[in-house]
């Protein structure tokens, strides 16, 4: 079931994501991204994209925000808001969808930008039939039933 996002919380998340985008370290792509996540406790955690001279090491804003939330004891993500200072909204990349799935398989995902355009969806719509923790526990159950040779 997806989480019901109230307007005041959504506004706070958007504000936090917008502020985080200002801190973006993106000298290579020049593409600023900010993200804010709502943890199971109701607290908000923000993050930005952090690039590196070794390009492949860039970390997306969504993952920075989620790793910060988890580092602060959250294990459930209810909502992720992505902000880019662009005319159209930006959706989370595939790697970020996978990381959101770990902590919020039914999370609400909102993309906001400099125009009034918004996309609001859920992680299970963005990443149907996702690979996740349940696959590993299913494998552990089936291998524990196997006879030792």
Residues that bind ligand THU (CB under 6 A): 26, 29, 31, 33, 49, 51, 58, 60-62, 92-93, 96
First to last CA, the chain: 43
Considering the complex, state which of residue 14 and residue 62 has its C-beta at the smaller distance from ligand THU.
Answer: 62
DSSP 8-state symbol, 93? P
Nearest-approach distance from CB 10 to ligand THU, in angstroms = 19
Considering the complex, state which of residue 118 and residue 134 has its C-beta at the smaller distance from ligand THU.
Answer: 118
CA torsion through residues 133, 119, 78, 68, sign: positive
3-state secondary structure (DSSP) of residue 61: helix
Considering the complex, state which of residue 114 and residue 135 has its C-beta at the smaller distance from ligand THU.
Answer: 114
Q: Which candidate in 14, 62, 102, 120 is catalytic?
A: 62
Nearest-approach distance from CB 144 to ligand THU, in angstroms = 37
Q: Is 62 a catalytic residue?
A: yes
Give the residue ranges of DSSP H helices in the chain: 7-22, 61-71, 94-103, 123-126, 133-144
Nearest-approach distance from CB 77 to ligand THU, in angstroms = 15
Of 7, 17, 29, nearest to 114 (Cα)? 17
Active-site residues: which are they?
A: 62
């Amino acid at each position: 079931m997806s989480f019901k996002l109230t307007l005041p919380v959504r506004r706070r998340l958007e504000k936090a994501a917008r502020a985080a985008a200002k801190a973006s370290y993106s000298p290579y792509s020049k593409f600023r991204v900010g993200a804010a996540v709502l943890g199971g406790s109701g607290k908000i955690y923000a993050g930005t994209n952090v690039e590196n001279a070794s390009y492949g090491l860039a970390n997306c804003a969504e993952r920075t925000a989620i790793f910060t939330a988890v580092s602060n004891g959250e294990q459930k993500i209810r909502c992720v808001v992505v902000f880019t200072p662009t005319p159209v909204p930006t959706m989370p990349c595939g790697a970020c969808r996978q990381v959101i799935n770990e902590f919020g398989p039914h999370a609400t995902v909102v993309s906001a930008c400099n125009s009034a355009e918004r996309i609001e969806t859920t992680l299970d719509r963005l990443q149907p039939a996702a690979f996740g923790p349940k696959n590993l526990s299913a494998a552990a159950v089936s291998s524990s039933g196997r006879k030792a040779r």
